[in-house]
Structure 1
Amino acid sequence: MTAPDSGMASVQKAFALLDVIAADPRGATAKDISTELGMPLPSVYRLLQTLVASEHVVHLRGQRRYGLGYKVHALDLSLRRQVGTPVTVRRAVRELHVSADAAAYFAVYRGDAIVVAHVVDSLRRPRIDPLDFGFTDAAHATAFGKILLSRMDDHEVADYLGRHGMRPLTERTLSTPEELAQELGRVRSEGIAVEREEFVPGASCLAAPVVDAAGRTLGSVAVSLRPEDFERRHRSIAPVLRGAADRVGRALRAAEGCPAGPPAG
């Protein structure tokens, strides 16, 4: 018989434990983790001991808490290298920021995950918090998430929602699969995704797909603005955004087989 804390079950528990520690800037106590995960304290301590030894977790003895270790930072750096954004793509996103006069984003799709790979903003046109490198959440409530979902068939979307849900983030967030299906149909027909304060209040977004030579969607480019600016300008920004998506797609195709530069926030 397999021990309860061995094999895949143990790996899943270790990741869940890391999520609990990461959720609080102060870290977490063993009791916090036990309560949050419904896991016996002895099992928590065994996993913590293993993760401390591997340096993925650090024991903050003076606070009687556990925090993330430097190995987690090393994983973040590795992800940034793997998702590395070519210089030509970064240049195209910066040009989009200037020409659209809006915060500009480039997101890549890794399977059914969204990774924000590059953001260009300014004090006048700040990025949406928390849309920074590595953000992967809330596909149903973001413009580049809707682009990703629009490339899936109905069964794939249902499977995605079954795994990720449709958490309401604002009073404007789409709340049912039926509403989302109607929205995705519009995205497919227009080739542009719109999000009006569905992710965070006070910000609206527009996104366009980035495709490869075979027409497969690799990711998307997006812009965000304050709602009053967005309503006034989004129609004029749409062709600028489509042009940027085309330039990014061509830049990615040209960069195939060439080393990518590090992503910049």
Structure 2
Amino acid sequence: MDQRDTEPNTPVKTAQTTFRIVETLKSLDGATVTELAAELDLPKSSAHNYLQTLEHEGYVVNSNGTYEVGLRFLDLGGYARARERLYRVAIPELKRTADSTGEFANLLVEENGLGVFIARERGESAVNLDSYTGQSVHLHTTALGKTVLAYLPRDRVEAIIDRHGLPAMTDRTITDRVELFEELDSIRQREYAYDREERIKGLNCVAVPVLNDDDIAGALSVSGPVSRMDKGRIDDDILPELRRAANIIELNRAYS
């Protein structure tokens, strides 16, 4: 089992609480001290002390009594992304793919058992989506994530499922472990994955792997409305474009 899927031997409770507070502020899109304390079952005095400390350090801002995640996290996220070699070499091809297809082109990597969008480029016809750079998603809910899972060792995938489960995002999300592994076998054989409204209703997506030798480095996708992402267009236009882009990214990553 990957060490990232195991609990720490001696967890630091205050650190865990701090991160729970930050994640809760994000999920609630801001909260008062009372709301946060109720959500996390904390004494109001403790919630207030945590929030004041985070505000003093610049990680939280207080807007008329409502605490929100601060932009200092953007600095950390930008730094982490800039260190990712795949991101640096992929951006030009991601932009070309978005321009060529007119849709959203996306780059995702796996970290701690979740998929993280490290780059997204918008084509001129792309629809508005809930996704954003830095967002984490369950891997089984997207074409990108299923592509990554398909190229990971079986025991690693099992550990990810044990840790994060297989929650449903729509009525089309795969939530059965056996069904998921059958899907992953098919993806590995054909070397691409579909997402047919499995995370967002009305949205289809197709993804291909970006490999580092035989290991998965990430996945590249194009996503768009069902009305434009039919099988004919995907097979004839989008998949060839994605494969071209992935090939160039792999070469540039290997030899840059």
Task: Report the TM range for the smaller structure's normalisation.
Answer: 0.7 to 0.9
Equivalent residue number for residue 98 of structure 2: 97
Deviation digits for residues 88-125 of structure 1 (CA, Å, limit 9, x no counterpart): 52222222234444321222334544332222223413
Kindly indicate whether structure 1 or structure 2 has the higher relative contact order, using CA contacts under 8 Å at least 6 residues apart. 1
1:48 to 46, 51, 55: 51
CA distance in 2, matches of 1:50, 1:102: 42
Question: 1:146 Cα deviation (Å)?
Answer: 0.4
Question: 1:240 Cα deviation (Å)?
Answer: 2.7
Deviation digits for residues 21-49 of structure 1 (CA, Å, limit 9, x no counterpart): 12233x21111111111222232223223
3-state secondary structure, aligned to 2:50: helix
Q: 1:9 to 1:103 in 2, by over 3 A?
A: same
Equivalent residue number for residue 8 of structure 1: 12
CA distance in 2, matches of 1:154, 1:21: 35
Q: 1:107 to 1:44 in 2, by over 3 A?
A: same
3-state secondary structure, aligned to 1:242: helix
More off after superposition, 33-42 vs 108-117: 108-117
Identity in percent: 25
State whether residues 167 and 175 of structure 1, in contact with CA within 8 Å, keep that contact through their aligned partners in structure 2: yes
Provide structure 2 residue ranges, at least 5 long, that are not aligned to the other structure: 1-10
CA distance in 2, matches of 1:253, 1:22: 37
3-state secondary structure, aligned to 2:12: helix
CA distance in 1, matches of 2:140, 2:126: 24
Equivalent residue number for residue 144 of structure 1: 144
Equivalent residue number for residue 258 of structure 1: none
CA distance in 2, matches of 1:93, 1:100: 11
3-state secondary structure, aligned to 1:168: coil
3-state secondary structure, aligned to 2:129: coil
Equivalent residue number for residue 202 of structure 2: 202
Equivalent residue number for residue 40 of structure 2: 37
Determine if the alignment matches structure 1 residue 185 to structure 2 residue 185: yes
Superposition map of 1:88-167 within 5 A: 89-110=90-111, 112-126=113-127, 129-167=129-167
More off after superposition, 156-165 vs 191-200: 156-165
State whether residues 112 and 148 of structure 1, in contact with CA within 8 Å, keep that contact through their aligned partners in structure 2: no
Provide structure 1 residue ranges, at least 5 long, that are not aligned to the other structure: 1-6, 256-265
State whether residues 107 and 119 of structure 2, in contact with CA within 8 Å, keep that contact through their aligned partners in structure 1: yes
Q: 1:52 to 1:103 in 2, by over 3 A?
A: closer
Normalising by structure 1, report the TM-score: 0.83
3-state secondary structure, aligned to 1:230: coil
More off after superposition, 220-229 vs 185-194: 220-229
CA distance in 2, matches of 1:73, 1:169: 27
Write the letter of the residue equivalent to 2:42: M
CA distance in 2, matches of 1:101, 1:253: 28
Equivalent residue number for residue 17 of structure 1: 21
Question: 1:191 Cα deviation (Å)?
Answer: 0.9
Equivalent residue number for residue 216 of structure 2: 217
Determine if the alignment matches structure 1 residue 80 to structure 2 residue 81: yes
Question: 1:9 Cα deviation (Å)?
Answer: 0.6
Normalising by structure 2, report the TM-score: 0.85
CA distance in 2, matches of 1:131, 1:182: 27
Pairwise CA RMSD of aligned residues?
2.2
CA distance in 2, matches of 1:234, 1:91: 21
Superposition map of 1:247-258 within 5 A: 247-255=248-256
Equivalent residue number for residue 226 of structure 2: 227
Equivalent residue number for residue 261 of structure 1: none
